[in-house]
Chains A and B, each alone.
Chain A
């Protein structure tokens, strides 16, 4: 059996150099990857998601079939195919690969991917219709989303269940006063090992909102790394994981680099069977980032004896006059609530259903677009029967 590191080493040896403009970033990524290796459970923030073991245990990693499929673009959005790196425009050259140094997996994606897309929403362009794309297949890929000053967009990312190992790195740049809403749905994918790194930089008075639905995979790891780099930048990160026996790890890192920045996080999990839900949320408030505030809530309901949830909020504050609050709770459905509903004639199964939906509803209700909210809720409904089995 080959080790995971050997698999990547071979791939790196065959990947060849990138185009000259990208080569310094790519070389740095290769160096970083070689130094860190494939993450495993003895790497602190991969403790609950042993990627190395999962890759080595998989029979077939699925080769190189990965595709990011964009729906037809609304007028006003620029698109560039990352397969054609030699001809990349300046806005791609300015940003692509900058976030690869954030970890071994985005570094691997930069070094190994030869597909992907970049899109740019020009200054003060408001797109009312959502822009959709699908992620399918196995392999490494990346995407770049650039929101120019004052632009706004709703991006809907749909992960297709499949087989094999997929490693996706998405870089997002939100310019001053711009707004990006990022919805991501990832239905249950039993035979997939999914890693995705979303690195977001948010400028002055700009906002980034993420709404995630996760049905889990054989191993699923989503890294959401966010820098609020100028005053007035704000972020709302939310998600529900509904797991009927699979694994879903959502790890967020929020860095308040400047003063008057705001972040809020709300994550809820329903875990049944032998499912395992992970939330790790690290918030750092940098020195001088005064008058920043952050809130962070993560809750999980376990539907059976074998289900597991690991919730780990973390806070590091180097500034003064900041407001930070966090809470995490793992439990079973509230016995008092269940009795109250049953005492009113509502049968136990129906009462449990009501309470579970009410628990998740608060998160999904944060999606402003009615059609998207209904679609995400449908994904929740599809996943619930599996997750509610003990």
Chain B
């Protein structure tokens, strides 16, 4: 589903990703672990299509198409979803209005039928209950005044509504206490499906106790330096990044 080959990405002329190669198949959950500054967030942004992240060489193919050629909204319509580390607060746009606009924009781009306000409300209510996203939150301006946990739950609610084919979760565990973490992880696990791939980006092993990956890649200095099964997370936790990164260097 996702094929990244020898990817080099520069931000403000500085190379951050330096030859990253990665492949994730449908139905799989892969984790990217790495120390601060290794390029984890750059990878998530370049996959979602944020401006200012220049691909200097290499390629990203998504279901056989060149992802780099697509606008962010085109990627979203084709099933790419990034749960952001820092969801943006947008005063003046209510959460429910935002969800309806996004759902219908994606539907329109796919040539599917748009939903009326009532159908959106029904759908959102159904999915929101499991994530403990309240009616009151849906009426508030998008992410404004939300706690860290509420923001992350809303990201997962969006993932549940948009039903992406490729979900990238960028540091979804950051800023969450253990109860919030469990709730979010349950939400993510409920979305594991044979036709869906997930890329879980995290600094800590903690999240991977709850969202157990099929494969773990260690990112350091802009490259994958080690790969393994879920047990790799525990080795990293016990011995630290320096041990693995140092060995690879």
Binding site for B on A (CB under 8 A): 334-337, 339-348, 350-351, 354-355, 357-359, 361-362
Of A337, A348, A358, the contact of B73 (CB 8 Å cutoff): A348
Closest beta carbon of chain B to A332's beta carbon, Å:
13
| CB pair B49 A357 closer than 8 Å | no
Q: A339-B51, A342-B72 are known contacts. Are A347 and B92 too (CB-CB below 8 A)?
A: no
The contact of B90 among A347, A350, A355, by CB within 8 Å, is A355
Nearest chain A CB to B54 CB, angstrom units: 15
Query: Would A347 and B105 count as touching, CB distance under 8 A?
Result: yes
Whether B102 pairs with A344 at a CB distance below 8 angstroms is yes
CA distance A354 to B71 in the complex (A): 18
10 shortest interchain CB distances as A-B pairs: A358-B92, A345-B76, A345-B106, A342-B72, A344-B102, A340-B88, A345-B105, A346-B105, A342-B73, A358-B93
- Note all chain A residues with C-beta closer than 8 A to B41: none
The CA-CA distance from A342 to B109 in the complex, in Å, is 13
Which residues on A sit within 8 Å (CB–CB) of B84? Answer: 340, 343
- In the complex, the answer to whether B91 meets A343 with C-beta atoms within 8 Å is no
In Å, the complex CA distance between A339 and B52 comes to 11
Q: For the complex, count residues of B whose C-beta is within 8 A of A.
A: 26
CB <8 Å contact, A340 and B162: no
With both beta carbons as reference points, the residue of chain B lying nearest to A357 in the complex is identified as B92
> Which of A342, A344, A362: most chain B Cβ within 10 A?
A344
Knowing A339-B50, A345-B109, say if A362 contacts B102 (CB, 8 Å). Answer: no
- B87 sits at the interface (CB 8 A): yes
* B97-140 residues at the A interface, CB under 8 angstroms: 98, 101-102, 105-106, 109
Give bound CA distance, A340 to B72, whole Å.
9
Instruction: Decide: A346 near B87, CB < 8 A? Known: A354-B93, A357-B92, A362-B92.
Output: no
The contact of B72 among A339, A355, A358, by CB within 8 Å, is A339
Within 8 A of A (CB), among B155-175: 158, 162
Contact indicator B73/A346 (Cβ below 8 Å): yes
A-B contact pairs, 30 of them (CB 8 A): A335-B51, A336-B88, A337-B88, A339-B48, A339-B88, A340-B84, A340-B90, A341-B90, A341-B98, A342-B49, A342-B72, A342-B73, A343-B72, A343-B73, A343-B84, A344-B102, A345-B77, A345-B105, A345-B106, A346-B102, A347-B71, A348-B71, A348-B73, A351-B73, A354-B93, A354-B101, A355-B90, A357-B92, A358-B93, A362-B92
Across the interface, do A345 and B162 meet the contact criterion of CB distance under 8 Å? yes
Number of contacts between A and B (CB, 8 Å)?
73
Chain A residues near B75 (CB-CB < 8 A): 343
Measured CB to CB, the nearest residue on chain A to B90 is: A337
Residue of A nearest to B99 (CB): A344
Complex Cα spacing A336 to B51, Å: 10
Q: How far is the CA of A361 from the CA of B76 in the complex (A)?
A: 27
Inter-chain CA distance A264–B153, complex, in Å, is 36
Complex Cα distance, B41 from A82, in Å, reads 69
B29 at the A/B interface (Cβ < 8 Å)?
no
User: Nearest chain B CB to A51's CB is how many angstroms away?
Assistant: 35
Residue of A nearest to B76 (CB): A345
- Name the interface residues of B8-39: CB closer than 8 Å to any CB of A: none
A contact residues around B51 at 8 Å (CB)? 335, 339
**In the assembled complex, which residues on chain B have CB atoms less than 8 Å from the CB atom of A343?**
48-50, 72-73, 75-76, 82, 84
Does the CB pair B101–A350 fall under 8 Å?
yes
A342 to B81, alpha carbons, bound, how many Å? 11
19 other A-B residue contacts (CB within 8 Å) besides A340-B84, A346-B105, A354-B93 = A339-B51, A342-B71, A343-B48, A343-B50, A343-B75, A344-B98, A344-B106, A345-B105, A345-B106, A345-B109, A346-B102, A347-B73, A347-B109, A354-B98, A355-B90, A355-B93, A358-B90, A359-B92, A362-B92
Question: In the complex, which residues of chain B have a beta carbon less than 8 angstroms from the beta carbon of A341?
Answer: 90, 98, 102
Q: Which residue of A lies closest to B89 (CB)?
A: A337
Beta-carbon nearest neighbor of A342 in chain B? B72
A361 to B90, CA, bound (A): 12
Nearest residue, chain A, Cβ from B80: A343
Determine the chain B residues whose CB is within 8 A of the CB of A358 once the complex forms.
Answer: 90-93
| Complex Cα–Cα for A358 and B101 (A) | 14
A14 to B49, CA, bound (A): 69
Q: Could you tell me the distance between the alpha carbons of A343 and B90 in the complex, rounded to whole angstroms?
A: 14
With CB as the reference atom, state the residue of chain B lying closest to A339. Answer: B50
Residues of chain A lying within 8 A (CB to CB) of residue B87: 340
Which chain B residues numbered 58 to 88 have a C-beta less than 8 Å away from chain A? 71-73, 75-77, 82, 84, 87-88
* Set of chain A residues within 8 Å of B77, measured between Cβ atoms: 345
Task: Give the CA-CA distance A346 to B162 in the complex, in Å.
Answer: 12
Chain A residues closer than 8 Å to B76, beta-carbon distance: 342-345
Chain A nearest CB from B186 CB (Å) reads 23
Residue of B nearest to A354 (CB): B93
Provide the residues of chain A in CB contact with B109, threshold 8 Å.
345, 347
Closest CB in chain A relative to B109 CB, distance in Å: 7
Chain B residues near A347 (CB, 8 Å)?
Answer: 71, 73, 105, 109
